[in-house]
Amino acid sequence: MASLPSSAWDKEKAAVLLQRAGFGGTPGEAEALSRMSPRQAADSLLGPAEAPKADPPESILKPSLNDKLRTLRNRLNLLDPKTQEEKRREILRVLKAEQEKRLTDLRGWWLSRMADPGTAAREKMVLSAESPSALAAEPPFP
């Protein structure tokens, strides 16, 4: 943005910047951005130098489901074979549901950060710096 002369900066370019920095903006937001210099506009979209604290959903801060599965498998070995199979299916069903919930919570949290004008540009930059697997789930259970 620093190489763009202020004379070439207009409402249309501001709208493009809004689109690239997040999910776009209203005509009023593009107009307001166009009244700034290109550098000021970019800085305003990135927010303060110190990013606000990211508070991820509580569900993803819990211990790994793989650790939980390992512990439960060890307990299953103490049961008789018929009971083992029934309990194994039940445990896998519950753990898969928990995995789906955690992933849904994480995606929802991240999408809300992408939709927030104060964090959208930073989140979009992180996403492009990471791989498409940035939000991939843990490997599925057997």
Domain boundaries, the chain: 1-46, 54-142
> Quick check: 106 and 58 in contact, CB under 8 A?
no
d(CA 141, CA 126) in angstroms, rounded, equals: 28
Backbone angles phi, psi at 137, to 5 degrees: -80, 165
pLDDT higher at 13 or 113: 13
> Quick check: 99 and 56 in contact, CB under 8 A?
no
Over range 9-20, report the average pLDDT: 91
Reported confidence tier of residue 7, pLDDT bands at 50, 70, 90: confident
30 token code pair = 């593009």
Average model confidence (pLDDT) across the chain = 81
Give the pLDDT of residue 1: 44
Share of the chain above pLDDT 70, in %: 85
Which pTM does this prediction carry?
0.61
How far is residue 59 CA from its own chain's centroid?
Answer: 14
pLDDT tens, position by position, 38-68:
989 988 888 776 766 778 888 878 878 888 8
d(CA 94, CA 91) in angstroms, rounded, equals: 5
